[in-house]
Amino acid sequence: MKKRQRNKGIFQILLFCSLITFSSCEDNWTDHYSINKNVVSGKTLWETIQSTPNLSKFAQILKKEGYDKILSESQMYTVWAPVDSALVNFNLDSTLLVKEFIGNHISRFSYSAVASTNTNISVLNTKVLIFKSVGANFYFGDAKLLKKNIVSSNGILHTIDKQVQFFSNIWEYLAKDQRLDSIRSYLYSFNKILFDPKNSIAGDVNSQGQTVYLDSVFYNANVLFRKLGYLNNEDSTFKVILPTNSAWISSYNTIKTYFRYSAGSAGSQYSADTLQRRYTLSSLVKDLVFNSRMQTSPSDSLTSTQKDVFYNPQHLFDGSEQVTASNGTIYITDQLKYNSWDSWNKTILVEAEQLAGRDNTFSSVYTRNSTGSAITGISGNKYVEVTPTNPLSNPAIFFSVPNTLSGTPYNIYCVFVPATAAGAGVAAANPCKVNFQLSYLNESGAASSQTFTNNGASYITDNKNLSKVLITSNFIFPYCNYGQKDNITVKLKVVSNVAQNQTALYSRDMLIDCIILEPAH
């Protein structure tokens, strides 16, 4: 008791001094506090609220949730208390009582109503509300202060004319709209609620030596926040597209056809159905969130939190219902309108110089740098030179192609580099003459291969310019290869096809930039 009284006394002295110092800048002491004779009180905030007329309903709500004890402790708070007339129809049985009401009217630390006030206040539920003066009046959020600067030993009380309007953030809104059951179930399934001792209010120590907390604070360590964005963060501003249950089901059924796994390729840890569901769901939500901090030209394009760019983005929101949240805007839609090739069905690029998944026969492979070359457009400014190990052999090189999907038609290309890319002093060599062989899993799930020629003949490259050779168009893989880093079942073989009597016309050296699989649309 003596310690609490000593803390109260110190606070009163400090508060008294700070108010004198401030009032010397704004107005004199007498004028500033003439509306409230009891400037410094020995009462706690809880005692002050109990003894203040027209706050009986508010006091009842606080006591029901244990805030009579919290507001009796030495920690500093500011309380914005709605008068009884503003709480006539208040539902005391609300499960969101503390989160949405009490947490919306109390903040840590002391905030006085003084001239030219205009500040953002973080209240206990982490919402950010504006506390400002307008002429002779003061407002907290959309509520007007009726009485101000009622000073207690552990903070300041203001009375207000109505409840401060509560806006759910995007994460909270998901729990309230039944049309969003499907996406909510998926996103919430990753919730991991952890105790936050740093921001909790400690009370006494029990008989086992454990701290009993008067106000326990928890936080959500959901792993999807790091991927999609912290949708529960009040400090960010998002645009988020939320599909209704019907849109979710429709999109899921469409996307899942692109993630068809064979039993053999799924591995021992997960079944083919489990992998299909996992990647279908992650693809479905991949590009629904846009953080305002990531946008450079929002009228022309939007970049999702997964860094995919959508041009002329207004069509994404057409026909949607707009809902204002405390940390952005929600667009509820019955149809997801992005194109698959802008999101989860993108072009696959395999750089030839990448060692992983590459093999070769009858050849040596060297990585070359094209920086400063007259030949422009080489991907990453690097390519490989494949040369035969002896003058009588045709070299071959194999590339593993990851992340192919099962339901999309691909146009498959191999990009060749001319010999002149090696420097201005290098003469143009003869063109290459090549064939291709694509290996994959057939409909039965067995390894299969298909050879591609140019209408029965070999493909001839350009010996002076980059050659983007179309190997095949609209090719559909029966099974997907997505996410199978250790079991890539799609491979492309590039093989020189120069006969002994053709070496004067064609070069067996192959200079390859990359392999490209473009979704046909």
- The confidence score (pLDDT) of residue 40 equals 56
- Location of structure tokens 């969130």: 289
- The confidence score (pLDDT) of residue 182 equals 98
Q: What angle do CA 123, 127, 129 make, to 5 degrees?
A: 75
- The confidence score (pLDDT) of residue 35 equals 32
Name the band, by pLDDT with cuts 50, 70 and 90, for residue 268. Answer: low
- The confidence score (pLDDT) of residue 267 equals 57
* Residue whose C-alpha is closest to residue 168's, from 337, 329, 288: 329
CA dihedral 163, 167, 169, 170 (to 10 degrees): 150
pLDDT digits (tens, 9 = 90+) for 452-497: 989 889 999 999 999 999 999 999 999 999 998 888 999 999 999 9
* Residue whose C-alpha is closest to residue 421's, from 375, 388, 475, 452: 375
pTM value is 0.81
Q: Which of 38-52, 65-79, 292-306 has the lowest mean pLDDT?
A: 38-52
- The confidence score (pLDDT) of residue 437 equals 98
User: DSSP letter at 379?
Assistant: G
Residue 31 has pLDDT above 60, yes or no: no
Name the band, by pLDDT with cuts 50, 70 and 90, for residue 36. Answer: very low
Residue 265 has pLDDT above 70, yes or no: no
Q: Which of 137-151, 235-249, 370-384 has the lowest mean pLDDT?
A: 370-384
Residue 25 has pLDDT above 60, yes or no: no
- The confidence score (pLDDT) of residue 263 equals 86
Query: Cβ(279)–Cβ(257) under 8 Å?
Result: no
* Residue whose C-alpha is closest to residue 74's, from 214, 211, 209, 207: 214
Angle between helices 272-285 and 245-255 (to 10 degrees): 130
Query: Cβ(138)–Cβ(113) under 8 Å?
Result: yes
Q: Render the burial of 228-263: b for 16+ CB within 10 Å, e for the rest.
A: bbbbbbbebebbbbbbbbebbeebbeebbebbbbbe
Name the band, by pLDDT with cuts 50, 70 and 90, for residue 423. Answer: low
Residue 22 has pLDDT above 80, yes or no: no
What's the gap between Cα 135 and its chain centre?
41
- The confidence score (pLDDT) of residue 428 equals 67
- The confidence score (pLDDT) of residue 426 equals 63
Query: Cβ(220)–Cβ(155) under 8 Å?
Result: no
Average pLDDT, the chain: 89
Please report, rounded to a whole number, the percentage of residues in the chain having pLDDT higher than 90: 74
pLDDT digits (tens, 9 = 90+) for 502-520: 999 999 999 999 999 999 9
- The confidence score (pLDDT) of residue 372 equals 83
State the distance between the two ends of the chain, measured CA to CA, in whole angstroms. Answer: 76
Residue 299 burial (C-beta neighbours within 10 Å; 0-12, 13-18, 19+): exposed
Element (H, E) at 70: helix 67-70
Element (H, E) at 25: helix 2-26
CA–CA gap between residue 291 and residue 295 (Å, rounded): 7
Q: Which of 1-15, 55-69, 86-100 has the lowest mean pLDDT?
A: 1-15
CA–CA gap between residue 316 and residue 154 (Å, rounded): 50
Q: Does residue 281 or residue 33 have the better pLDDT?
A: 281
- The confidence score (pLDDT) of residue 344 equals 96
The mean pLDDT value for 21-27 works out to 36
Q: What angle do CA 301, 287, 241 make, to 5 degrees?
A: 85
Residue type for position 415: V
The helix, strand and coil proportions of the chain, stated in percent and rounded to the nearest 5, come to 25, 30, 45
- Sequence-distant (6+) residues with CB within 8 A of 24 are none
φ/ψ of residue 319, rounded to 5? 80, 0
Please report, rounded to a whole number, the percentage of residues in the chain having pLDDT higher than 70: 90
pLDDT digits (tens, 9 = 90+) for 350-362: 999 999 999 999 9
- The confidence score (pLDDT) of residue 424 equals 54
- The confidence score (pLDDT) of residue 39 equals 52
